[in-house]
Structure 1
């Protein structure tokens, strides 16, 4: 995650355009170059962007512009390779527009590397503890939320809602890769680790949506959180009681690392981003 800041020279866009150096042009050219780059990366790579700063008025050549980029992939090596190429694209855009470039690195994380020994252990414990039981009011609330979701009809057509608006069964180990990002991946490259997911919102909701927020603040989210906490606590106790299970998890971790060591993607000395002041 990084913001690419371009600095140019302001001028009147009608009467004095030849003296201007547009930072916005640089940002747009960077985006064009990034779009061409998409064809020449592996299929797991995701490149996202959003403008941070674009200028003040159309009749003024903007001397400041910024564009925020995310790069994601299934491996840390692929992320770093794509990011380094993206920096070169930004440098080229600055060169073409005679502007200055400043790259503000915000953060980075590793791909997930779940430990199968621990994953199966947690899966067994989820079965033993049992999934949360939803009340009539919770089911009605989730159903009402589902109907506000853009994917509601698609979920219904695919049979995802046949058992109700909330998950009631355990799905077992995931067979697909996730394209989300989490710093759990960093932990998983340092010690044996796994991650569990529990039902905390209605099935048709999209991640980061207001429907998820609504459920998180309700008894639905609270029940899912408590279920996850019980599983993690039980897993910790079992690992203490069964040292052979812990050793098996360590062995798997060593085999997956293959002698590699974790290198933090965040440069030394980089300060943590400060939250924006409340308005």
Structure 2
């Protein structure tokens, strides 16, 4: 049967490459991926998937399902297709979305024999305000048995971890005045932001080494001779686990309040983007995918990456067994979020990664659909992880 999957992928490989290249040539930012979504949806319609759009209140999100009509597990492949401003597909989401769609299309040809269902979930805005977060909260994954996504990179890596992340905004309100003639009449909101940065810098030596706190001043006044009555800072705060991140965030908020007290300003604290949870890899599912990738690709598969980034797939992994491995484009020097990375996705190496990733995903889905012991191991591990948490 896996030989049949290889045939199916080879039969649609050129079409998948064309779709991925189209997404590269027409990059769209998060929640604006209308053409990208339509391109993937049209492909899945060709393969008789039932389509729903506007999932979880996001216009460019979709759900495509092929149901065998027989009992069995439900496999979900997740598609990303948002680009980066000024860079385009510097994170390779053109490959991600197309790999998932291709894997699902190939697996759908065997599903009448295996039973169960295969689903593609189109998940917009991973780079900014990830749709996987409301999907995870609103029950999109409640009937899913395993969720998979593969990310391109310079080299191939097993699925690993990611950091939990909160995006926090601090708006300070003071009182404007002439900075030279009557500074005593003013309350400097920018001074509060500066003290916030100083306080956070002092906090760094008292948190664990996995914590990352980085921010900008997005508003700091309009003229040097006017005491700024408004100032705003935005920070990403990250940590290895959601529980510890919550502790660190509380400390940062106390610093922010202290900075306001020091200057006499007031502060308004809010989240300016959705929060991401840490990624928990389901090892049984990951081992199965890695075994399949080694059979379909000549590349070395390295252990999980040591990463300090955050992904909304983390939220998915809290509610369903999930993996997020990397497929290599035979270029270990590649740096994500660059034009060079984007350009590599449309090369022969990028197209080979697309083929290998789609086939490995399809084979892994087939294993879950047909191997009762594997499914039991995946579910048992997930329950154990949830209970431990």
Q: Which residue of 2 aligns with 1:150?
A: none
Higher relative contact order (CA 8 A, sep 6+): 2
- TM-score normalised per structure 2: 0.54
Secondary structure at the counterpart of residue 258 of structure 1 = helix
Matched, 1:87 2:253: yes
The offset of 1:124, in angstroms, is 0.6
**TM-score, normalisation: structure 1:** 0.75
Deviation at 1:220, TM superposition (A): 3.8
Matches within 5 A, 1:52-67: 52-67=218-233
Kindly state the Cα deviation for residue 182 of structure 1 after the two structures are TM-superposed.
0.7
Counting matched residue pairs gives: 222
* 1:23 aligned partner: 189
Alignment correspondent of 1:147: none
Q: Which moved more, 1:216-225 or 1:71-80?
A: 216-225
Shift of 1:253: 1.1
Tell me, what secondary structure is at the counterpart of 2:181?
coil
Task: Give the alignment partner of residue 108 of structure 1, picking from 260, 275, 282.
Answer: 275
- Give, in angstroms, the shift of residue 40 of structure 1: 0.8
Deviation at 1:217, TM superposition (A): 4.7
Could you tell me which residue of structure 1 aligns to residue 333 of structure 2?
204
Name the structure with the higher strand share: 2
Contact 1:206 1:212 in 2 (8 A): yes
1:78 to 244, 256, 266: 244
Checking the alignment, whether the CA contact within 8 Å between 2:175 and 2:186 is kept in structure 1 is yes
- Residue 324 of structure 2 corresponds to residue 195 of structure 1: yes
Q: Residues 217, 96 of structure 1: CA spacing in aligned structure 2 closer, same or farther, 3 A cutoff? A: farther
Q: Which runs of 5+ in 1 are unaligned?
A: 132-168, 261-279
SS, match of residue 71 in structure 1: strand
Instruction: Give 1:47 shift.
Output: 0.8
Deviation for aligned residue 1:210:
2.5
The residue number in structure 2 matching 1:239 is 368
Q: Is 1:129 aligned with 2:258?
A: no
Unpaired runs of 5+ residues, structure 2, are: 1-166
Match of 2:108 in 1: none
Moved more, 227-236 or 17-26: 227-236
Q: Deviations over 1:237-258 (max 9, x none)?
A: 1111112101101111112222
